[in-house]
Amino acid sequence: MTPEMARRRIETLRAEIAEHDYRYYVLDAPTWTDAEYDRHWQELQELEREFPQWDRPDSPTRRVGGAPRSDLVSVRHDQPMLSLDKVVDQAGLRHFDRRLHERLGLPADFALTYVGEPKIDGLALSLLYEDQVLVRAATRGDGVMGEEVTANVRTIRSIPLRLRPGSRPHRLEVRGEAYLPRGAFAALNRELEAEGIRGFVNARNAAAGSLRQLDPRITASRPLAFSAYGVGQLTEAGLPDGQDALLAWLREAGFPVSPEIRRLEGMEACWRYFEQLNERRDALPFEADGVVFKLNDRMGQERAGSVARAPRWAVALKFESEETETTVEQIEFQVGRTGILTPVAQVTPVFVGGARVAHASLHNVSEMHRKDVRVGDRVILRRAGEVIPEIVRTVMAESGSRALPVPEPTHCPACGSPVERDLGGILIRCSGGLHCPAQKKEAIRHFASREALNIQGLGEKRIDQLVRADWVRNPADLFALEVDRLAGLERMGKRSAEKLIAAIQASRNTTLARFLYALGIREVGATTAELLAHALGSLEAVQEAGLDELCAISGIGPIIGHHIHAFFDDPGNRDVIGRLREAGITWSSPAPQLPASGSRFAGASLVLTGRLTTMTREEAISAIRSLGGVVSSQVSAKTRYLVVGENPGSKLDDARRLGTEIVTETEFRDWIGFPPETSGPHLQ
Ligand code: IVH
């Protein structure tokens, strides 16, 4: 074969392969079988080997990945790659639309035409074509400077190495999202984990990790996809006037464009589009974290312009998600009623799981170490349903130094007492007891809580004031408060002081079980308190009971027994109890509670699974029992309801299989007449 004949054959093969790729990846309508494809490919490879003079950067054979490099090179974007303003609800979307109307000087009732596009969760790419050929690909980076990844991008089969024939600008910069399709992402993580390598936390990290590789052969082994959504240089003559026409033009030029994209007239249509996509989001072949709305008209886009780093003519409406990324700003330790120090991360506020979150729990020091969460880390934060937001894990930065791990406190942050380890080192606890202001406050909050003495109007802020003024050191001090003194407190008039005193006085009439619970004995929840009251009948009997007597009560084991015994052995506690009795706290002898026959729980069997976050398990069980229900440990055909808390176990699967009614913690709270939980300690 002469070199000239070879050149012609090579060109034909390249064009045919490119056409096939286009049909396969863009039109989703392949014409060749795999065998035909391989045959053409092999023929091309052999000819190129024999005639290296016809080598070209846009040959499909370049897609297998070239030689590895030693580092990624920074490049400057001719036009900055902007980011998008985000909104999280319909009100935010309407606000965006109103502002755009104002800016364009249009009457409010004029329906603007938008293009709705899925916001694919991947990595933004800039693809530069000169004289039809892909000459440079870069990541977005910080929007001004990106990283050059041309060799890696060539391995993405759906990205044309050469534009399809037609009238094309001399220089064209296409922008879009590179991503790993849902299935490919899951398969990649399975593969990595089988090799003992930690998988990617989400599809976006997987796409970024696959593209920002020094060895293009690794990128080639990852089935990355691409979806075009715009053109970098909008001033280029000859481009269509609307976003919808631009996308059609891009598709014609050879680029995959999402089939989900729609032209939408007015806000109603935009909202419907969002809702429909949101409903189908788990069935989409890519991960999407929202929808992008773009003003269709290019003239309008130019008139609206951009602010800082985002255009005024486009907005991202995010799907509600249970997980998001944020940054840890601080890690502090909160002291609970029993002195346990809980590490809580203060994070850059984010909207997740339908709420704004600024704090997230790290549960305990051992969890904090296991997850190795540090100040400054980017982390995945999860808030599902009613659950207290938690940090799932740190997203490892590929470079850059991290802060040192937060040291475990040796002293209580509230009172300075040394800490003690508990539960084999999992927990740390302040040894200050009721000398510790944080424990004091928590003890009083517990004493006044609804399930205990139920003192109306004694909220966190009031308790804080009272403890800070040193008027209240323990629950007994509440009963010595006087109206005149109280009225002198900030934000407290005479009337509210009177009301509070009246509520404190009214709380004196209670039950033995509530009183025992209110004392805040370790491990004694409402159910155990009830057991004690029923079994022993009087406070004196509980106070005098020996360890053996306590452990003989069904439901009380040696650990709880020990805590009860130790509590009443403590002279300080005995003193407080004496003062409380003197203050006039009374109860009639405990009568067994009768099942309320009308309740939905009467005679019903319930099972609890997972950790309840707004009440203790004992409280839940006690509430079910007092409403006539029975609590079982296993889900069976007889189970009426399964109450689901955080991290439910296999019981949830059993319930689903058996068709048992599943009840969330919120619903459950509502059924048992607990007030809705509006703000936990970690929520804002
Ligand atoms: S347009 C002119 N359209 O979202 C506005 N961005 O927050 C520039 N993204 O960096 C972006 N799908 O990674 C646009 N259909 C879409 C998108 C999209 C995903 C990403 C992209 C960008 C980020 C902006």
- Cα dist. 431→334, 458, 667 in Å? 14, 26, 38
**Residue 641 domain-assigned (yes or no):** yes
Report which ligand 1 atom has the smallest distance to the Cα of 311.
2
The CATH code of the domain that includes 338 is 2.40.50.140
**Residue 76 domain-assigned (yes or no):** no
What are 180-185's contacts with CB under 8 Å, separation 24+? 180/122, 180/206, 180/207, 180/210, 180/222, 180/223, 180/224, 180/225, 181/223, 181/225, 181/285, 181/286, 182/284, 182/285, 182/286, 182/287, 183/285, 184/222, 184/223, 184/225, 185/287
Confidence of residue 668 (pLDDT cuts 50, 70, 90): confident
pLDDT tens-digit series, residues 109-166: 999 999 999 999 999 999 999 999 999 999 999 999 999 999 999 999 999 999 998 8
Pocket test for ligand 1, best of 179, 229, 289 (most atoms within 8 A of CB): 229
Kindly tell me if the per-residue pLDDT of 399 is higher than 50.
Answer: yes
Region of residue 493 (left: phi > 0; alpha: psi -120 to 50; beta: else)? beta
pLDDT value of residue 62? 87
H/E run at residue 428: strand 427-430
For ligand 1, atom 17: residue with the closest CA: 119
pLDDT value of residue 180? 94
Report which ligand 1 atom has the smallest distance to the Cα of 119.
12
The CATH code of the domain that includes 661 is 3.40.50.10190
**Residue 348 domain-assigned (yes or no):** yes
**Residue 408 domain-assigned (yes or no):** yes
Which residues, 6+ apart, have CB-to-CB distance to 303 below 8 Å? 103, 104
Which residues, 6+ apart, have CB-to-CB distance to 91 below 8 Å? none
pLDDT value of residue 594? 42
Residues 612 and 578 in one domain: no
The CATH code of the domain that includes 552 is 1.10.150.20
Q: For residues 226 and 63, what is the distance between their CA atoms, to the nearest angstrom?
A: 15
- Residue environment code for 234-270, b if the CB has 16+ CB neighbours within 10 A, otherwise e: eeeeebeebbbebbebbbebbbbbbebbbbbeebebb
**Residue 79 domain-assigned (yes or no):** no
Pocket test for ligand 1, best of 233, 255, 292, 313 (most atoms within 8 A of CB): 292
Q: What is the mean pLDDT of residues 580-600?
A: 70
Distance in Å, CA 316 to ligand 1 centroid: 8
Q: Are 144 and 309 in contact (CB under 8 A)?
A: no
pLDDT value of residue 648? 86
Residues 391 and 414 in one domain: yes
**Domain-ending residue, one of 558, 587, 616:** 587
Residues 527 and 573 in one domain: yes
Length in residues, the chain? 684
For ligand 1, atom 11: residue with the closest CA: 83
What are 481-490's contacts with CB under 8 Å, separation 24+? 489/465, 490/465
Q: What is the mean pLDDT of residues 191-203?
A: 84
Residues 493 and 567 in one domain: no
The secondary structure of 239-283, three-state, reads CCCEHHHHHHHHHHHCCCCCCCCEEEEHHHHHHHHHHHHHHHHHH
**Residue 64 domain-assigned (yes or no):** no
Positive or negative, the Cα torsion across 302, 306, 309, 310?
A: negative
Report which ligand 1 atom has the smallest distance to the Cα of 140.
10
Confidence of residue 397 (pLDDT cuts 50, 70, 90): low
Q: What are phi and psi of 140, to 5 degrees?
A: -70, -35
For ligand 1, atom 24: residue with the closest CA: 83
**Residue 600 domain-assigned (yes or no):** no
What six digits make up the tokens of 96? 């965006």
**Domain-ending residue, one of 284, 318, 352:** 318
The CATH code of the domain that includes 43 is 1.10.287.610
pLDDT tens-digit series, residues 513-549: 999 999 999 889 888 898 899 888 899 999 999 998 8
Residues 338 and 293 in one domain: no
- Cα dist. 561→28, 451, 516, 550 in Å? 70, 22, 14, 6
Amino acid at 406: V
Kindly tell me if the per-residue pLDDT of 182 is higher than 50.
Answer: yes
Q: What is the mean pLDDT of residues 622-645?
A: 83
Q: From edge to edge, which strands make up the β-sheet containing 314-318?
A: 85-87, 314-318, 288-295, 113-120, 262-265
Residues 244 and 146 in one domain: yes
Kindly tell me if the per-residue pLDDT of 385 is higher than 70.
Answer: no
Q: For residues 9 and 516, what is the distance between their CA atoms, to the nearest angstrom?
A: 92
Residues 496 and 516 in one domain: no
Q: For residues 546 and 528, what is the distance between their CA atoms, to the nearest angstrom?
A: 16
The secondary structure of 460-497, three-state, reads HHHHHHHHHCCCCCCHHHHCCCCHHHHHCCCCCCHHHH
Kindly tell me if the per-residue pLDDT of 8 is higher than 50.
Answer: yes
Report which ligand 1 atom has the smallest distance to the Cα of 258.
15
Q: Are 204 and 121 in contact (CB under 8 A)?
A: yes
Q: What is the mean pLDDT of residues 436-440?
A: 91
Residues 305 and 227 in one domain: yes
Residues 270 and 296 in one domain: yes
Pocket test for ligand 1, best of 77, 82, 84 (most atoms within 8 A of CB): 84
The CATH code of the domain that includes 301 is 3.30.470.30
For ligand 1, atom 9: residue with the closest CA: 119
557 vs 596: which has the higher pLDDT: 557
Which residues, 6+ apart, have CB-to-CB distance to 284 below 8 Å? 118, 182, 260, 277
Residues 268 and 234 in one domain: yes
Residues with Cβ within 6 A of ligand 1? 82-84, 117, 119-120, 124, 140, 177, 229-230, 292, 311, 314, 316
Report which ligand 1 atom has the smallest distance to the Cα of 82.
8
Q: For residues 189 and 206, what is the distance between their CA atoms, to the nearest angstrom?
A: 9
For ligand 1, atom 3: residue with the closest CA: 229
Q: Which domain holds residue 139?
A: 86-318
* Nearest alpha carbon to residue 635 among 613, 610, 618, 615: 610
Q: What is the mean pLDDT of residues 277-301?
A: 94
Distance in Å, CA 455 to ligand 1 centroid: 53
* Nearest alpha carbon to residue 429 among 509, 499, 333, 355: 333
Residues 297 and 333 in one domain: no
Distance in Å, CA 119 to ligand 1 centroid: 7
373 vs 624: which has the higher pLDDT: 373
Distance in Å, CA 367 to ligand 1 centroid: 36
Distance in Å, CA 681 to ligand 1 centroid: 35
Distance in Å, CA 122 to ligand 1 centroid: 9
Residues 278 and 405 in one domain: no
- Residue environment code for 520-553, b if the CB has 16+ CB neighbours within 10 A, otherwise e: bbeebbbbbbbbbbebbeebeebbebeeebbbeb
pLDDT value of residue 534? 86
Q: What is the DSSP string of 119-152?
A: EESSEEEEEEEETTEEEEEEE-TTSSEEEE-HHH
pLDDT tens-digit series, residues 353-367: 777 889 998 988 888
Q: Are 274 and 292 in contact (CB under 8 A)?
A: no
The count of structural domains within the chain is 6
For ligand 1, atom 18: residue with the closest CA: 119
Distance in Å, CA 229 to ligand 1 centroid: 8
**Residue 679 domain-assigned (yes or no):** no
Which residues, 6+ apart, have CB-to-CB distance to 200 below 8 Å? 185, 188, 189, 192, 206, 209
For ligand 1, atom 21: residue with the closest CA: 124
**Domain-ending residue, one of 507, 526, 554:** 507
Q: Which residues are tagged catalytic?
A: 119
Distance in Å, CA 124 to ligand 1 centroid: 7
